[in-house]
């Protein structure tokens, strides 16, 4: 277990997000023109897609989404903004996703006039970047392209012909990208600079909360020390190694720690989740939830947020900054993370949570057996003093929109 160094930004002035929106939406901030942004995404129902589209709309763009769907959650969701359906895709089934891209080509031809009006293209992940480049070619457009990456796919970190080909394709596409948008500096440092040799313009846009949520209500949980500690795992449930670790901890910490899950299953089968964790009375699963509606309730019922992602510990899990770091931070809940991972570094830098070394099971069990209420409250106090801008998007979104409007066309 590791502590952290002194918090350096606790005295920063919180961002006025509403004022930032007004400035970005003003004609002077948008270059005095109406801008059409075409957003190509892999899942129009995904929470990160909904957040990003709303950000662009709030900051003055006319957005049209060309999007696929994935049958994971929000399956009945109908976007309120202009949306061009491209079909259905499935996680990790790369052959099926390639076919879906080919089937989407006639739709691009059918909408080439709308594509030609685009002031900027915004593509999320390599599939959509390929489709964006094709759309721009079909429409004879020279509008700039922004390429956003929220995760580094495991396949590009593997050896073999297919991973090498995919990396080569991405490198070729990157030459035609005006700006690379990343959710973690670890992605640029460890993959795009080190592996792909990318030296172009890039922008850090973290997975912060948006829009600005209302102030968190005071928690009404029983006093610490009179009940078990409660650990919350909310969001995408993924990684068999993570589930196995929590099962072992639940067995060792009966009566001392409760684990609460909520969200959707991605790379973990729900049947296996229930088989591994079902026998433990101190593990609960509350099902899917709506982020903007349920986060305060969820985080209001826990003492810690689980931020130990063990799915790909050699690359993506080590480099990413998970949404729950920002969600938990806003609601004043300290995170638990792995020492040396990107999120662990952030926690240690500001001394707003705890990180752990291998063997993780023993480190975590020892932590919960020895943690005092006084130490916990000191960490929560530091977290409560952290600047709001660390967890809530505002000026960073305004800066990205400003950058997009000024990209050479």
Q: pLDDT for 47-70, tens place per residue? A: 889 999 999 999 999 999 998 887
Domain-located, residue 221: no
CATH number, domain of 360, equals 3.40.50.2000
Same domain, 81 and 34: yes
CA 331 vs. chain centroid, Å, equals: 17
Same domain, 156 and 56: yes
pLDDT range class, residue 352, cuts 50, 70, 90: very high
pLDDT range class, residue 342, cuts 50, 70, 90: very high
Query: Roughly what angle, to the nearest 10 degrees, separates helices 47-58 and 395-405?
Result: 70
Q: What local confidence, expressed as pLDDT, does residue 294 receive?
A: 92
Give the Cα separation of 353 and 281 in Å (integer): 26
Domain-located, residue 217: no
Same domain, 160 and 269: no
Same domain, 385 and 397: no
Same domain, 150 and 67: yes
> What is the per-residue pLDDT across 108-128, written as a single tens digit (0 to 9) for each?
999 999 999 999 999 999 999
Largest CA distance in the chain: 67
Same domain, 185 and 70: yes
Q: Which long-range contacts (CB under 8 A, 24 or more apart) does 110-113 make?
A: 111/66, 111/84, 112/138, 112/139, 113/139
Domain-located, residue 295: yes
| Range among 23-37, 85-99, 194-208 with highest mean pLDDT value | 194-208
Same domain, 73 and 207: yes
Query: What are the Cα distances from residue 263, in Å, to 69, 74, 284, 320?
Result: 18, 12, 12, 19
* Residue predicted with more confidence, 16 or 63: 63
Q: Would you say 360 and 308 are in contact if contact means Cβ atoms under 8 Å apart?
A: yes
Q: DSSP labels for 46-70?
A: SHHHHHHHHHHHHTTEEEEEEEEE-
Domain tally, the chain: 2
Domain-located, residue 44: yes
Q: Would you say 301 and 260 are in contact if contact means Cβ atoms under 8 Å apart?
A: yes
Residue 34 has pLDDT above 90, yes or no: no
> What is the per-residue pLDDT across 220-275, written as a single tens digit (0 to 9) for each?
566 677 799 999 999 999 999 999 999 999 999 999 999 999 998 988 999 999 99
Q: What local confidence, expressed as pLDDT, does residue 94 receive?
A: 67
pTM exceeds 0.75 = yes
Q: What local confidence, expressed as pLDDT, does residue 403 receive?
A: 96
Domain-located, residue 182: yes
Same domain, 333 and 352: yes
Give the Cα separation of 375 and 381 in Å (integer): 10
Domain-located, residue 194: yes
Torsion sign across C-alpha atoms 313, 316, 320, 322? negative
Per-residue buried b or exposed e for 72-82, using 16+ beta carbons within 10 Å of the residue's own CB: bbbeeeeeeee
Same domain, 147 and 102: yes
Give percent of the chain above pLDDT 70. 87
pLDDT range class, residue 215, cuts 50, 70, 90: low
Same domain, 153 and 255: no
Domain containing 237 equals: 229-390
Give the Cα separation of 62 and 53 in Å (integer): 10
Same domain, 161 and 28: yes
Domain-located, residue 6: no
Q: Would you say 207 and 49 are in contact if contact means Cβ atoms under 8 Å apart?
A: no
Domain-located, residue 1: no
Same domain, 178 and 256: no
């Amino acid at each position: 277990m590791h502590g952290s160094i002194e918090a350096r930004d606790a005295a920063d002035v919180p961002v006025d997000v509403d004022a930032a929106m007004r400035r970005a939406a003003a004609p002077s901030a948008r270059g005095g023109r109406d801008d059409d942004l075409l957003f190509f995404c892999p899942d129009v129902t995904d929470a990160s897609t909904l957040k990003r589209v709303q950000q662009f709309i709030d900051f003055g763009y006319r957005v049209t989404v060309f999007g696929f769907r994935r049958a994971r959650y929000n399956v009945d969701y109908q976007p309120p903004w202009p949306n061009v359906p491209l079909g259905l895709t499935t996680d990790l089934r790369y052959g099926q996703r390639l076919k879906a891209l080919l089937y989407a080509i006639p739709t691009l031809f059918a909408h080439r006039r709308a594509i030609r009006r685009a002031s900027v293209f915004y593509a999320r992940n390599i599939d959509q970047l390929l489709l964006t480049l094709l759309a721009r070619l079909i429409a004879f457009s020279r509008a700039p392209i922004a390429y956003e990456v929220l995760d580094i796919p495991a396949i590009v970190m593997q050896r073999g012909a297919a991973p090498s080909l995919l990396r080569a394709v991405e490198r070729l596409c990157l030459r035609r990208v005006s700006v690379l948008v990343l959710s973690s500096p670890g992605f640029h440092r460890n993959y795009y600079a080190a592996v792909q040799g990318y030296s172009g313009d890039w922008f850090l846009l973290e997975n912060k909360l948006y829009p600005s949520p209302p102030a968190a209500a005071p928690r009404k949980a029983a006093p610490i020390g009179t009940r078990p500690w409660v650990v919350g795992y909310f969001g995408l449930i993924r990684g068999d190694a993570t589930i196995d670790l929590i099962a072992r901890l639940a067995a060792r910490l009966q009566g001392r720690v409760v684990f609460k899950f909520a969200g959707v299953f991605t790379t973990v089968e729900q049947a296996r989740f229930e088989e591994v964790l079902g026998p433990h009375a101190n593990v609960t699963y509350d099902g899917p939830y709506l982020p903007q509606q349920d986060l305060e309730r969820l985080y209001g019922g826990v003492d810690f947020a689980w931020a130990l992602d063990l799915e790909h510990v050699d690359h993506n899990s080590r480099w990413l900054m998970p949404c729950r770091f920002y969600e938990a931070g806003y609601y004043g809940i300290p995170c638990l993370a792995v020492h040396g991972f990107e999120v662990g570094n952030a926690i240690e830098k500001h001394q707003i949570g705890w990180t752990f070394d291998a063997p993780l099971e023993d480190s975590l069990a020892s932590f919960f057996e020895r943690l005092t209420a006084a130490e916990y409250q000191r960490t929560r106090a530091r977290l409560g003093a952290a600047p709001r801008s660390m967890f809530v998007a505002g000026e960073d979104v305004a800066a990205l929109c400003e950058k997009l409007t000024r990209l050479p066309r």
